[in-house]
Amino acid sequence: MQYKTHVAGGVALGYVLFNNVDALTHYVNESPTFMIATAGLVIGSLMPDIDIKTSYMSQKTRLVSFFTSKLFKHRGYTHSIVGVLTFSILLFFIMEALGFSDGSTKLFSLSFMIGMISHVVLDMFTWSGVALFYPYDKRINIGSYRSGLFPYAFGEWMISIALFVVAYKNMQGLL
């Protein structure tokens, strides 16, 4: 999938959760926290593709991408439950070590994790699937969104637009 679809999915899922799950609602209640949450959702939604050199995230973080693409197969570790948890927990501890406030550290890490989860779920809709239970390498997919009626990019644009509409409608309740 294209990075735009993953960003739309991460933001949409995050806004839906922050707007509708009472335990999360108190995190996003004013403009600065809304921006922290959005940044976490966007970065998290792009992070799983750090394991492939041609991805948008890899182009922005070449050194990290160099090592992750050598260590992991695409849609393996970084697209798994273990990978999502590891990246999110590691981010939390790095932010704490750098002295970020407790509230912003929790909010950003949680948003980052939601973004990564949305990425993994969206990639599960593709033919190749993901190694969700890494190190068990069985790829899991839940079908493909390509119906054959539309070219690949058109179908992905339609998904992106639908996700942006969901995000926009749920953003109304956050501000």
Q: What is the pLDDT of residues 124-166, one digit of tens each?
A: 888 788 889 988 888 888 765 554 555 555 556 667 677 777 7
Q: 131 is in which domain, residue-wise? A: 3-171
The secondary structure of residue 48, as a DSSP letter, is G
Mean pLDDT score, 33-39: 90
Q: What is the pLDDT of residues 90-100, one digit of tens each?
A: 999 999 999 98
Answer for the pair 119, 10: CB distance below 8 angstroms, yes or no: yes
H-type alpha helices, the chain:
3-20, 22-25, 31-46, 56-60, 62-71, 81-97, 102-123, 152-171
The domain total for the chain is 1
